[in-house]
């Protein structure tokens, strides 16, 4: 029973991290229908910026957070301005390829600068955040990530639902030409969505870095893990990303705990293919209907 509970809690906490990582991804998809294959690299960039600021330059943690978020916001703008904007109006296939190219480029760059080794932050989370129920122990970082996740979720939920920029973003995602003709500044919407996504990605990168240490390969691998999560939840649903993340996390944790440890890496992709075959728009995604 204890083992079961521990596996359950592990699964939920890992799942929450996946959900957090998937948030930024859904963000970009929701506003610009771009499938971002460079998401894992965005996570890694955020994590490494934080590493440079906090561990190498030894700035106070709050300053580090603010600077990392600001830096990644700017980075998102830059990516959109220099790489994505020239392709506005081009076929979707080219935009997807572009993000694949960006992913390779960023990963290579990070590996050149930081190498493939594992880096670590100095510990800064208070131990008081930890939760201990009976034999089950939840580390402080998971609690912190849970709080951050809920916060981001609420903020972005309200942002998309009520703010005018959120509504512009949804309109652009829904039908770009119609949004253009109604006077929505599509370019700025794209830029903003990339900037926000980079911020969310950086945030989740930092959280992941605190838990597992920072490693380029690992973080870009998490970027690929995002796909089963968002497909399960529905590509354009923020709530779906959370639920999908939790389900995938549980699935991996139970496979690892009860069936085989090595199967854990691949089980989510098997599920991914099955979902694509059976229910391609996921649990909460909006179904695309094509009419001639």
Partner 1 sequence: MRRLHFRPCGNFKTSYREELTIFETDFGRLWTLVGIVLLMGVVPFVASPYMLYVLNNMAIAAIAAVGLNILIGFTGQISLGHGAFFGVGAYAAAILATKVGFPFWAAVLSAGVITALVGMIFGTPSARLKHLYLAIATLAGQLIIEYVLVHWESLTGGPSGIILPEPVLFGLNVSSDRAFAWVAFGCFIVMTWMASNLMRSRYGRAFVAIRDNDLAAEGMGIPLFRYKLLSFAISSFYAGFAGGLWAYYTVSITPEPFTIMLSIEYIAMIIIGGLGNIAGSVFGAVFIVGLNEILSQATEFVMNLGALAGIALTVAPLREFVFGLAIVLFLIFEPRGLAEVWRVVRSSFRLWPFAY
Which x/- pattern, by CB under 8 A, does the window 31-50 give for partner 1? --x-x---------------
Q: Applying CB under 8 A, which part among 98-106, 117-125, 194-202, 238-246 lies near partner 1?
A: 98-106
CB of 104 to partner 1, least distance (A): 3
How far apart, in Å, do the first and last CA atoms of the chain sit? 56
Part in contact with partner 1 (CB under 8 A); list of ranges 16-24, 176-184, 195-203, 222-230: 222-230
Binding-site member from 65, 77, 83, 165 for partner 1 (CB under 8 A): 83
- Angle (deg, nearest 10), helices 2-32 and 39-51: 110
138 binds partner 1 (CB under 8 A): no
The answer to the question of residue 272 lying near partner 1 (CB under 8 A) is: yes
Tell me the C-alpha distance between 248 and 262, whole Å.
16
Q: Is 117 in the site for partner 1 (CB under 8 A)?
A: no
Q: How far is the CB of 102 from partner 1 (least distance, A)?
A: 6
Collect all residues with Cβ–Cβ distance below 8 Å to 242 and sequence separation of at least 6: 16, 19, 23, 149, 153, 233
Find the largest Cα–Cα distance for the chain.
60
* 63, 70, 92, 131: which one binds partner 1 (CB under 8 A): 92
Smallest gap from residue 283 Cβ to partner 1 (A):
15
Under the binding rule (CB under 8 A), the answer on residue 108 touching partner 1 is: yes
Distance CA 47, CA 205 (A): 5
112 belongs to the binding site for partner 1 (CB under 8 A): yes
Residue 239, judged by CB atoms within 10 A of its CB (0-12, 13-18, 19+), counts as middle
Is 118 a binder of partner 1 (CB under 8 A)?
Answer: no
| Residues paired with 62 in a beta bridge | none
Three-state SS letters, 25-79: HHHHHHHHCCCCCCHHHHHHHHHHHHHHHHHHCCCCHHHHHHHHHHHHHHHHHHH
Q: Does 78 bind partner 1 (CB under 8 A)?
A: no
Contacts to partner 1 by CB under 8 A: 33, 35, 83, 86-87, 90, 92-94, 96-98, 100-112, 115-116, 224, 227-228, 231, 235, 262, 265-266, 269-270, 272-273, 276-277, 280, 290, 292
């Amino acid at each position: 029973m204890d083992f079961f509970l521990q596996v359950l809690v592990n699964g939920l906490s890992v799942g929450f991290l996946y959900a957090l990582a998937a948030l930024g991804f859904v963000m970009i998809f929701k506003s610009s229908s771009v499938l971002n294959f460079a998401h894992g690299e965005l996570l890694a960039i955020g994590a490494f910026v934080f590493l440079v600021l906090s561990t190498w330059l030894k700035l106070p943690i709050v300053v580090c957070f603010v600077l990392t978020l600001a830096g990644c916001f700017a980075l998102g703008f830059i990516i959109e301005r220099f790489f994505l904007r020239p392709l506005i109006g081009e076929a979707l296939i080219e935009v997807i390829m572009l993000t694949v190219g960006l992913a390779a480029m960023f990963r290579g760059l990070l590996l050149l600068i930081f190498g493939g080794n594992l880096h670590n932050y100095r510990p800064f989370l208070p131990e008081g955040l930890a939760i201990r129920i009976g034999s089950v122990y939840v580390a402080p970082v998971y609690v912190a990530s849970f709080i951050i996740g809920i916060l981001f979720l609420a903020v972005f939920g309200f942002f998309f639902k009520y703010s005018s920029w959120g509504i512009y973003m949804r309109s652009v995602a829904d039908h770009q030409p119609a949004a253009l003709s109604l006077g929505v500044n599509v370019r700025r919407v794209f830029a903003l969505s990339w900037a926000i996504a980079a911020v969310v990605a950086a945030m989740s990168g930092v959280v992941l870095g605190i838990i597992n240490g920072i490693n380029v390969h690992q973080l870009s691998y998490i970027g690929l893990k995002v796909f089963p999560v968002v497909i399960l939840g529905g590509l354009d649903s923020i709530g779906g990303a959370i639920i999908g993340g939790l389900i995938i996390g549980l699935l991996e944790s139970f496979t690892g705990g009860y069936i085989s440890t090595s199967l854990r890496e691949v089980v989510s992709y098997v599920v991914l293919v099955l979902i694509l075959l059976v229910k391609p728009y996921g649990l909460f995604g909006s179904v695309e209907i094509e009419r001639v």
